[in-house]
Structures are given as structure tokens and as C-alpha cells.
Amino acid sequence: MPDNSVNRPRTLATGAALLVAGIALTAFGWSTPALVLAVKALLFLLGLAVTYQGLSRLLLGIRGKRTDLLFNLAMIWLVGIVLAAILAPVLPLGEHNNVAATLYEPINMSPQLLTDHPLGTNNQGLDLLSRSIYGARTSLVISLLAIAIGTVVGGSIGVIAGYFRKGTDSIIGIFTNALLAVPPLILLIALSTFLTPSTRNLAFALSLLSIPGMVRLARANTIAFAQREFVMAARLMGATRFRIMLRELVPNVVLPVFSMAVVMISVLIVAEASLSFLGLGIQQPDPTWGNMVAEGEGGAMEDYPHIVLVPGTFLFLTVFAFNLLGEKAQQRWDTRSAKL
């Protein structure tokens, strides 16, 4: 409901002033060549903070009640990056992997908004905006495919373990604990020595990180729901075990597993970026956020920080947005559970 204590005209005026000041400060921090990098970064971040406060106050003045602006902005970012990744081949982007096509392009160009390379170029003249979007395409496909495999396989195993219990549960528990006992990065490095770095193989390797957690979560929820009245009623009516699991248990286990899956997407994006950074993931010149950050090695970070900051910002914002989405999904699940 609208908050009657809000002075709308004053809130709108304050919000508009903060918004204008924030945009001006952000643009100045981004574009000015007269300041050192640390000061430019500080001004840019300060401008973003002021812009955020201005938007918050404007929405408060317009709606008369507070809005979860951070979550809304995160969802706008996710929708935007997903659409950009899908439509990348038809968007008017610069060259992202063909070095032969960039012989006459400037190398290590700093970001300049009103140019053909608004986010700059790397040491081969490839456009960083284009590489970041195509990198999002690779990272998202690998992570989503991995979490789909992990959710289906881990969730199914967890439901079986939680419903049958006894020996089945013990055997599944041993394999689950064995996977959890291996440090994730060591497991991925070991798998990468046997698997050719491709989208399919990386997705399979990363799915092993999510399966143990999915098994445990699905098992715990299955045990809880298996004692509920509707499951008992299905048993008394003669329903088979498979039907009980599929019709009664799985629909109730899906929501908490889905909430965890959304959070795990961010973990898998970081894991894929780590492998690519180490040279064990998708290889150059095909871009991923990890191997783009690796381009800043060897002193390039000091002289051309945008080479690292551009893909690093894309990676940070995407992981942050998925974490917010997962947190919101978990809150919805907790609210639903409290009502049951």
C-alpha cells in the first residue's frame, strides 16, 4: 500500500537531482582522461551509487511505496544479457574472434562511448563489447546445460534415496560424500585432462559440482514429504511407488531444488570462468569471460586495465543477478513452506 507519510513532490525533486548528478558523475568518471585509474574508478562507482539513490527516490515519489529496485535492475540485466547472447549473430557488433578482419583496427583502445568500440579493443584489435556478449553466450550455455544435467540427475537420485531409504540411501550417500570430499577445482582440473575442452564436455564436468548438493536437498525434502497425509492416502489407494514419486513427491521437491539451481548457476559461471582463465576451458580466439580476463596477464592490466575490467564487470553483474534471483526464489519457497 502507498505510504501516506511520503512527501511526493519533495521526493521526486530530490530523486531527479540525484539522478542527474549521478549520471554526470558516472559519465565523467568513465570518460575523463585527466585522472589516474583509481580516481576514475572511485568517481564511476560513486556516480553509480548516487544514480541508484536517485532512481529509488523517483520510484518512491511516483508509486508512493518502496520498490525492490536492486532486484528489478538485476532482472533487467539478466534479461538484457540473455537476449544479447541469443541475438549476438544479428546485432551490429564488432569482430569478436577473427583476427584477420581486425588488421586495420586500433589495438588496446580504451573505452569510448561514441565510437565503433564503446568498450574498447584488446591487443589484437577485437571489439571487447562483442567478445563480452559472445562470452556471455558461451558461459550461459555451459552453465545452464550443466545445471540442467545436475538438477535432473541429482534431483532424481535424491528422490529415490529419500523414498526408498535403507540400502539404496546408504549406497547413494557414499557416492555423494565421495564427490563432496574432492575439492571442486581439483576435480575440474582432473576431468579437463581427459576431456577435450568443448561446450558439451565442460557442461558435463561442471554438472558434477551441482549433483551432490541436489541429491542432498531432494533427499531431505522427499523424506519430509513422504510422511505427509497426501502421500499416505496415495499408498492406501494402491498407487505404485513410481506414481507416488512422480505425482506426489516430485512436484513438491521441484521448488526448493529450483531455488538452489538458480544460485548454483552463478557458482558454475564462476567455475567455468576459472577453468578458462587457467587455459583449461574454451580456447582463444573464441571468447569466454575467463579467457578474456586472462588476456590481462603479463603487465597488460597495468597499462590497459579495461581489457580485464570489461569482462570482469560482465561476470560480476551476471553472478550478482543470479544470486539475487536465487535468494528471491528461496524466500518464495520459505513463504510457501510456512503456509503448508
**Sequence spans of domains, the chain:** 1-67, 128-339
In order of 108, 122, 198, the CA distances from 280 in angstroms are: 25, 21, 10
Higher-confidence position of 199 and 86: 86
142/247 Cα distance (integer angstroms): 30
Q: Which of 215, 281, 288, 218 is nearest to 251 (CA)?
A: 218
pLDDT band at 40 (very low <50, low <70, confident <90, very high): confident
pLDDT, the chain, mean: 82
For the chain, give the percent of residues with pLDDT over 70: 91
pLDDT score at 308? 84
Which tens digit of pLDDT belongs to each residue from 108-135? Answer: 787 776 677 888 888 888 888 899 999 9
pLDDT score at 250? 84
Higher-confidence position of 250 and 64: 250
pLDDT score at 118? 81
Quickly name the fold that domain 128-339 has. Answer: MetI-like fold (1.10.3720)
Whether 81 has a pLDDT exceeding 80, the answer reads yes
| Sign of the alpha-carbon dihedral angle for 215, 220, 223, 228 | negative
pTM attached to this predicted model = 0.83
Which tens digit of pLDDT belongs to each residue from 249-260? Answer: 888 888 888 888
